[in-house]
Chains A and B, each alone.
Chain A
């Protein structure tokens, strides 16, 4: 039987406010345990929540960016369950009236095609603390620094049909969130987490199959692998005549398999009710318009502008806008060097290659945009060849001095003096009589070999155009 997969994603993003959602505790990452847990975060009786306006603004900013309906009246609810890292015994979240309603994202797939994926909603809620089970004999340790930090949970429509689309959706979401500057969205650090709902059904069926939820996946690659492995597991069960149990599963990357965590059928009874300690949040059109007016240029618009203004291919523009910092870096290089295409090659290949190899971000780059622009300028004004530029680029990684100083001190300046080039050419002609004869006999492509010899002799510094010209002249 042929099957089709239906996937919905729930993405939790940590909003990068300075203080918590309902208290004035700091949200700074990495503080010693419980030093950022106030009496409210510890749920001492009598404490009350006061809502952080910045969390609201960030949620609305996201909503406006994905063209979503904005809830002008949002209401908080209590989701009740007991776990020690949730000291109140309930999580404050938004059930029926979320701040962000229906919107959508457009993703580009590997074959270049585009697909619109619906976002059902995005609601504001509070994070739980952290439980440590390892080091305390017979006890669990609780750190409440994270308790009460603001989260935005973004729920997709079940419109994703394969692992590739899921990853494309996540990456797009990640890019938009970074452009909006509402979260670091670092999956490895937990500031962006993903729950995947997966089910399969016979191809063409209209009813959904029973789904499982894979919790807390912390990298794009694991999302992809978890989906492959879970789809294979479900297919095997169904083809053997079994039935899928609706449950929460966890992805084990070492074994590349999902395993059951707990059965949702019994555990999932959260007894939601409106949070009596918080009043409805009301915003007006003016508020929404003000947030919209402050939106930065978003990745899709920037990609289109790069194609238009810098004559880049859609692919190159897509690579360059994939992070806001990279796009900004590229623009400086393109403008300062005056050669947008050369700039695109250097940024997307040499610079990105360097960063990826060392696991650096743009901010870590030892080569700043202005320096790379100068390097490109030196290729264009014939101070160095494109090939020597690679050597200069390597030197720039460890040498902080100016591009010109490096070229000078390493003696890499292109030789354009015709006297010197003539010497090179004559030497090469003398040492390669066989090839010279072949050229004279009409084998024109031998010129390439001879130019190569001259370049080698000059250690790459000779101007290849001049060499070529002079060689032809001398061999006439």
Chain B
């Protein structure tokens, strides 16, 4: 399965990645290589094999429902470019 340039541009847009004109060709080739590997994997007979969601064969440890975090707003907001009234400010977004 090969990807064309338009598809790569669309994927880049969805991931909010900027890929320059000159990079597009290389990225297209590299993604296509990955997809070729996946095609190869798809052709393996997996009859009777349970789907795997994680490479480690262990299960999730659970956390007791307790409040363990303290308010760190002031420290965290020092990292933000802009904040006001306790809110993080970002360029206006409206649907």
The reply to whether B68 and A141 form a contact with Cβ atoms under 8 Å apart is no
Contact A50–B53 (Cβ < 8 Å) = no
Interface residues of B in 50-68 (CB under 8 A from A): 53-54, 56, 58-68
Q: Say if the beta carbon of A466 comes within 8 Å of chain B.
A: no
| C-alpha gap A97/B52 in the complex (Å) | 12
CA gap between A262 and B94 in the complex, in Å: 11
Judging by beta carbons under 8 Å apart, are A75 and B84 in contact?
no
User: Hey, what's the 0/1 contact readout for A3-33 against B, CB within 8 Å counting as 1?
Assistant: 0000000000000011100011110000011
Q: Quick check: B92 and A139 within 8 Å, CB to CB?
A: yes
- Select the residue from B53, B61, B66, B89 with max chain A CB neighbours within 10 A: B53
Q: Is the CB of A280 within 8 A of B54?
A: yes
User: Is the CB of A136 closer than 8 A to any CB of chain B?
Assistant: yes
Enumerate chain B residues within 8 angstroms of A35, measured Cβ to Cβ: 71, 73, 86
Most buried by A among B14, B16, B65: B65
Interface of chain B: mostly helix, strand, loop or mixed: loop
Q: State the CA gap A136–B86 with chains docked (Å).
A: 12
Cβ–Cβ contact A24 & B68, under 8 A: yes
Asked if A33 and B92 sit within 8 Å, CB to CB, the answer is no
Whether the Cβ atoms of B93 and A141 lie closer than 8 Å is: no
Instruction: Answer yes or no: B47 CB below 8 A from chain A CBs.
Output: no
Query: Would you call B87 and A132 a contact (CB within 8 A)?
Result: yes
A452 within 8 A of B: no
Say yes or no: is A154 at the interface (Cβ < 8 Å to chain B).
no
User: Are the CB atoms of A142 and B89 closer together than 8 Å?
Assistant: yes
Contact A279 B54 (CB under 8 A): yes
| Interface residue A106 (Cβ < 8 Å from any Cβ of B) | no
Total interface residues on A, CB under 8 Å, equals 53
Contacts of A80 in B (CB 8 A): 14-15
A449 adjacent to chain B (CB < 8 Å): no
Q: Check A279/B62 contact, CB under 8 A, given A136-B89, A139-B90.
A: no
A404 at the interface (CB under 8 A from B): no
* Residue A133 interfacial (CB < 8 Å): yes
Q: How far is the CB of B90 from chain A (nearest CB, A)?
A: 4
Chain B residue numbers with a CB within 8 Å of A84 are 88, 90, 93
Q: Provided the pairs A23-B69, A38-B72, A50-B63 are in contact, do residues A261 and B53 lie with their beta carbons within 8 angstroms?
A: no
A19 and B68 contact, CB distance less than 8 A: yes
Q: Hey, which chain B residues are within 8 Å of A54, CB to CB?
A: 64-65
How far, in Å, is A332 (CB) from chain B's closest CB?
31
* A219 to B75 Cα, complex, angstroms: 39
Which residues of chain B have C-beta atoms less than 8 A from A36's C-beta?
69, 71
B23 within 8 A of A: no
Chain A residue with Cβ nearest B62: A53
A144 touching B88 by the CB < 8 A rule?
Answer: yes
What is the CB-to-nearest-CB distance from B55 to chain A, in angstroms, rounded to a whole number? 9
Could you say which residues of chain B place their CB within 8 Å of the CB of A17?
A: 65
A-B contact pairs, 12 of them (CB 8 A): A18-B65, A18-B67, A32-B86, A34-B73, A53-B64, A53-B65, A132-B87, A140-B92, A141-B88, A262-B95, A279-B56, A282-B60
Q: Which A residues have a C-beta under 8 Å from some C-beta of B?
A: 17-19, 23-26, 32-39, 42, 44, 50-56, 75, 80, 82-84, 89, 97, 131-133, 136, 138-144, 261-262, 269, 271, 274, 276, 278-282
* B positions within 8 Å CB-CB of A: 14-16, 53-54, 56, 58-69, 71-73, 76-77, 82, 84-95
Q: Which 9 A-B pairs have the closest CB atoms?
A: A24-B68, A141-B87, A54-B65, A53-B62, A33-B86, A279-B60, A38-B69, A75-B53, A142-B88
